[in-house]
Chain A
């Protein structure tokens, strides 16, 4: 039990304290351990552990093929890909030693491994990444559906940010936006009061005020600034957005700190299955 419980906790505590206090101690050996050695140890461990992962992967895929479980044909592709990558990485370079030595062959043009990387792996990764564009569209559609006040706020700020960031946003006059606001408010008044006369008076007065103000000030495209889309989007982006993001960051930082302290002091032991 001592090897499964006490020793791991002791290692976590000692290394945790050294790493934490290393930030405050001006001593080259400790700095070197914190910045280089500890991370290199982790990398070495992870490199050995990859064998476990690879064995697990191949075991499961071969089992699927042998027992012909549903979707076993995909496992055939996985196993073939695995074997091909190993062959290209360790056994067949595809070029002479004069072109590329073993080791350098993974990045040299013309080798089998590089061919596999450029013409199979990269396009497939790019395909998965490109799916993101469609998923963003479907997720945005769902998020922007007007269901409640928050969703409406999200929709309005989303439109302002999108339009305000593209060239067409800067040619939309702030007076046009003001007319739009008057008309939108008119819709709201109509829904609220359900009286056509009130709505008509509201919209007529609103449009008149905007028109008179426009003639008085000469219809400048970017004045008043609070109705100019690029200015509004900049304000949303740099103030409410940053404030919200920072509040989340503070919470995350405290969460990480509290969690780390719990590990270092041995209060939280779930990571060793306790």
Chain B
């Protein structure tokens, strides 16, 4: 979208919202207005940074060892002549982590196509199987190696959590992949997978936003993408300016959140102890 078009669309949306507000904003949950405004502010910050990046603005991206290690892992597998095992979690495409996992899979597939390394992607949901296949197919096409793509490199095992863990463990023990990557949503099977991967001596990279599983991955894997790093993986790996801009926007919002927390603590402490100010928790609590 060009600058003129962008501001035109933004202006129209703002005008419609203003009109709606003047008309008495029917059907709006008034007690959620703070959240709505915050959401628009956050969205605007992201959009500003995306557009800034699209127009040639340059940003510094902190190197993330886990993402640098992805290429290293693919290279290691190539040298050893063993496959790469990629596990996109055990949840369906309605989970944003699974979508992020499939996106990272696309980047990994590009590397495997480039290095001519075999890729094995066992999945636990049929829809994920279809999405992952498409991502891999496109990656192999982009790299000019459609001949290397084989539909069965992405294959379905089972929907059941522990049956899936058993199936993946079996693949690990039999095929002994040189690299195992776990990117998606995980539950209790995370440690079963990561420890088996560790026992076969594979280089392991994990990425998840499942908070309870992060310690297990940190313990058993060589590299772990924690929370937001995982969601930023696509931007890092693709190096597309619009995605990198989004990461910068995310960091700016995080800084704003930290400042809000600090100011809220000060205001709340003042209010509780001296009665000066107002109850900021009432304003910030999501209803």
Contact = CB atoms under 8 A, between A and B. Distances in A.
A31 to B, nearest CB: 10
A23 B125 contact: no
A250 interface: yes
A257 B43 CA distance: 9
A125 B214 contact: no
Contact of B257 (A52, A248, A250, A255): A250
B281 interface: no
Contacts of B195: 135, 138-139
A270 B170 contact: no
Nearest to A138: B195
Interface in A166-182: none
Nearest to A70: B174
Contact of A273 (B32, B138, B163, B250): B138
Contact of A24 (B32, B42, B209, B218): B32
B92 A252 contact: no
Interface string A93-127: 00000000000000000000000000000001100
Given A49-B127, A248-B214, A57 B250 contact: no
Given A57-B158, A261-B43, A271-B131, A254 B103 contact: no
Given A42-B94, A125-B163, A132-B191, A255 B209 contact: yes
Interface residues of B, number: 76
Nearest to A258: B250
Q: Is the interface of B mostly helix, strand, loop or mixed?
A: helix
A263 interface: yes
A271 B226 contact: no
B152 A135 contact: no
B27 A248 contact: no
B37 to A, nearest CB: 10
Contacts, number: 173
Given A248-B211, A265-B47, A271-B99, A255 B166 contact: no
B134 A273 contact: yes
Contact of B129 (A52, A249, A272): A52
A218 interface: no
Interface string A24-56: 111100000000000100100110011111101
Interface in B25-77: 27-29, 32-33, 35-36, 39, 42-43, 46-47, 50
Nearest to B249: A258
Contacts of A140: 219
A274 B131 CA distance: 12
B231 interface: yes
Contacts of A20: 39
A267 interface: yes
Contacts of B246: 258, 261-262, 267
A53 B154 CA distance: 11
A52 B132 CA distance: 14
A128 interface: yes
A235 B36 CA distance: 36
B200 interface: no
B28 A26 contact: yes
Contacts of B84: none
A17 to B, nearest CB: 11
A129 B152 CA distance: 28
A268 interface: yes
Of B126, B218, B220, B254, most buried by chain A (CB within 10 Å of CB) is: B126
B253 interface: yes
Contacts of B268: none
Contacts of B43: 261
Contacts of B131: 271
B271 interface: no
Contacts of A271: 99, 102-103, 131, 135
A270 B234 contact: yes
Contacts of A261: 42-43, 46, 246
A268 B234 contact: yes
Contacts of B33: 24
Given A125-B160, A263-B99, A24 B216 contact: no
Contact of A27 (B27, B135, B211, B220): B27
A139 B50 contact: no
A240 interface: no
A157 interface: no
B228 interface: yes
Given A258-B250, A270-B234, 6 more contacts: A23-B32, A60-B155, A132-B191, A138-B195, A139-B219, A273-B134
17 contacts: A56-B155, A125-B160, A128-B162, A128-B189, A132-B191, A248-B214, A249-B227, A252-B227, A252-B228, A254-B250, A255-B250, A256-B96, A258-B250, A261-B46, A271-B102, A271-B135, A274-B138
Interface of B: 27-29, 32-33, 35-36, 39, 42-43, 46-47, 50, 92, 94, 96, 99-100, 102-103, 106, 125-127, 129-131, 134-135, 137-139, 152, 155-163, 165-166, 170, 174, 188-189, 191-192, 194-195, 209, 211, 214, 216, 218-220, 226-228, 230-232, 234, 238, 242-243, 246-247, 249-250, 253-254, 257
